[in-house]
């Protein structure tokens, strides 16, 4: 997969995670998370895969957009995505570490920081 193709693919996965309410079946999001996934939330809390999935299953629709999405391939099976997300309440800088495992890209780590 070329870098532009990878960037488009990971962007589409990030969009799905940003708007889980758009999924016909939210359980389709489960394979996007690595078993050892971790998130450093915008509030400073740390979440594991189970906690994030529980939140995704009950989240409400929200206006949110992704800006300046860029992917750096760190290795054949590792990519770092960085972007700015904007919701009605906050603008944040975000980074996602994606790994290619079991023949698919999985989110291994995510962090959000409030933009100044």
What pLDDT score was predicted for residue 6?
A: 96
Contacts 24+ apart (CB under 8 A), 77-84: 77/101, 79/6, 79/10, 79/105, 81/7, 81/10, 81/11, 81/14, 83/14, 84/115
pTM above 0.85, yes or no: yes
pLDDT digits (tens, 9 = 90+) for 98-108: 999 999 999 99
Domain coordinates of the chain in residue numbers? 3-114
pLDDT at position 3 is 86
What topology is assigned to 3-114 in CATH? Nuclear Transport Factor 2; Chain: A, (3.10.450)
């Amino acid at each position: 997969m070329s870098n532009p193709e990878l960037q488009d693919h990971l962007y589409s996965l990030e969009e799905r995670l940003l708007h889980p309410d758009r999924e016909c079946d939210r359980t389709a999001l489960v394979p996007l998370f690595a078993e050892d996934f971790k998130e450093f939330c915008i509030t400073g809390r740390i979440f594991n895969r189970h906690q994030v999935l529980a939140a995704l299953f009950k989240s409400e629709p929200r206006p949110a957009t992704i800006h300046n999405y860029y992917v750096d391939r760190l290795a054949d099976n590792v990519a770092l995505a960085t972007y700015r997300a904007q919701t009605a309440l906050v603008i944040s800088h975000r980074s996602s570490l994606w790994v290619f495992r079991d023949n698919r890209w999985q989110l291994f780590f995510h962090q959000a920081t409030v933009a100044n």
